[in-house]
Structure 1
Amino acid sequence: MERLTIGKLRGLQQIASPDGILTICAMDHRGSFRNMINPADPQSVGYDEMVKRKLELCSTFAPIATAVLIDPLFGASQCISRGALPGTTGLLVSIEATGYSGSREHRVTELLEGWGVEKIKRMGASAVKILVYYRPDLEELASRQLGIVRTVAEECIKYDIPFLVEPVSYPVGSEADNPEEFARHKPEIVIETARE
């Protein structure tokens, strides 16, 4: 078994309590966050409003969380530079672009343009996080998604920073119109995703 490197150990210490418990406040949402701010016209929510709201959230929740998960566009550097993120609170930075490319049933995670593991590490982050849409039963797509995860994982090894993967299952085929059917299949999908 490979030993935990010092960089990864330190990053994990920064995002956990002294007892090893993670209480992470996720605020890396972008598209859905715009919808929350202005459901009638989410596209009207500009950069300044997004930053302002994320600063408010970080100021409120970071002092009681072991870490915050935040996006690099509207929150990570802003929360550090404006003092909203205490030095005692860990920082996870998301590396994926908001939403997905492909179709509703064949979701492809894309990396955020202009951002990478090296840049996230240089800003002082404790860990890197990626959300990956995943259906193990869609083998070709699953292979592509695993390739994205492997690419980021290799960079995290290179820069000695923890890497957290957030796999998200979603309905396909008849499950898309039948939530009960998806709910019946989801435990098996999640278990198989964890195996892969």
Structure 2
Amino acid sequence: MSSLKKLTTPSGIISALAIDQRGALRRMLGEDASQESLENFKSLVSENLTAHASSILLDPEFGLPAAAKRDENCGLLMAYEKTGYDSTVAGRLPNLIANQSVKRLKEAGADAVKLLIYVDVDEDKAINDCKQAFVERVGSECVAEDLPFFLEIITYDAAISDKREYAKIKPHKVIEAMKLYADPRYHVSVLKVEVPVDMNFVEGFGDDYVYTKEEAAAFYKEQAKISNLPFVFLSAGVSAQMFHDTLNFAKASGSTFNGVLCGRATWAGAAKAYKEAGSDKAAEWLQTIGKSNIIELAKLVEELATPIK
């Protein structure tokens, strides 16, 4: 398998910027946002922030112009999945971008490929079997093209929508999903995962909690022992401060996470500026607040994360 060095800092930590959002970004910029607007916004983020990131995660649908504007020392991850899922069909089944393949993403300059799947380990076996075969196929493609395979896992429960109720079972969902897809048959190079608890429901982080700090810390330790695969945390749309607090808590709890793939916590304010005042204001936000966000995060991650050997 190809090396991860193009995607890490010199010390071996992944400090990556994620802006492969498509549907979510269109909602942030306005439902009537054009393809040109999405491409322009991604380019602004890439141009202004990638000097401070080890790599950037983009999509081939709106992100190719942004890929061309990234810093010369910044590696490139490319998303392979279609955005979202068909809510009329059970299982949140994954699908791939119709006109893409790992070979084509490599030809477009990708140093690694990322696939997102939604996982409920307790859902119907037939549904999970489909997802497992799907990941196997993508893993085999990545092996054939000698590209690292990043698997992003977003967990859920098919029967629970209440956030507090889900928080009670989230550690089980996250940890068991990681355990499943760490199996060598999937050829995953790096797991991109949620933290094992909803920090809004941890003692001291929210008004209403379902875990004490000690209980939450134990889940971070358990997650870190699941496999020998490198794993990075996604920011899940939380604020920059909450993400920083979460990473500090993770480290103090004994987590050996290998970095982050952080999106909206870094650049969300620029999307608001772009929608309300245009690209110049968005660029101004990125050059000030956005730059500060990513520099602070990169410094923190360098201090807290475990280098990939």
TM band (smaller chain) = 0.7 to 0.9
Contact 2:67 2:76 in 1 (8 A): no
Aligned position for 2:306: none
Would you say the 8 A contact 2:58–2:67 is kept in 1? no
Give the TM-score taking structure 1 as reference length.
Answer: 0.87
Contact 2:46 2:67 in 1 (8 A): no
**Corresponding residue for 1:188?**
172
User: How many corresponding residue pairs?
Assistant: 179
1:23 and 1:66 in contact (8 A); partners too: yes
1:26 aligns with 2:52: no
- Report the AA paired with residue 167 of structure 1: I
> In the alignment, residue 134 of structure 1 is paired with which amino acid?
V
Compared CA separation, residues 80 and 188, structure 1 to 2 (3 A): closer
Tell me the amino acid that sits aligned with residue 103 of structure 2: E
Q: Deviations over 1:160-180 (max 9, x none)?
A: 00000001012321x21x221
Amino acid corresponding to residue 18 of structure 2 in structure 1: A
Give 1:51 shift.
0.6
- Partners in 1 of 2:133 and 2:85 — Cα distance? 16
Q: Which amino acid aligns with 1:53?
A: F
1:127–1:161 Cα contact (<8 Å) kept: yes
- Secondary structure at the aligned position of 2:40 is classed as helix
Instruction: Calculate percent identity across the aligned residue pairs.
Output: 29
**Does 2:116 align with 1:128?**
no
Tell me, yes or no, if the aligned pair for 2:81 and 2:97 is still in contact at 8 Å: yes
Task: Write out aligned runs for 1:113-124 (5 A).
Answer: 113-124=98-109
Helix, strand or coil at the partner of 1:101? coil
Aligned to 2:303: none
TM-score when normalising by structure 2:
0.56
- Please give the residue correspondences for 1:53-68 in structure 2 after superposition, counting only pairs within 5 Å: 53-68=41-56
Shift of 1:79: 2.2
Q: Any conservation in 2 of the 1:66–1:90 contact (CA below 8 Å)?
A: yes
> Which residue in 1 is equivalent to 2:142?
156
User: Which of the residues 17, 38, 43 maps onto 2:9?
Assistant: 17
Which structure has the bigger radius of gyration? 2
**Ranges of 4+ aligned residues in structure 1 off by more than 3 Å:** 102-105
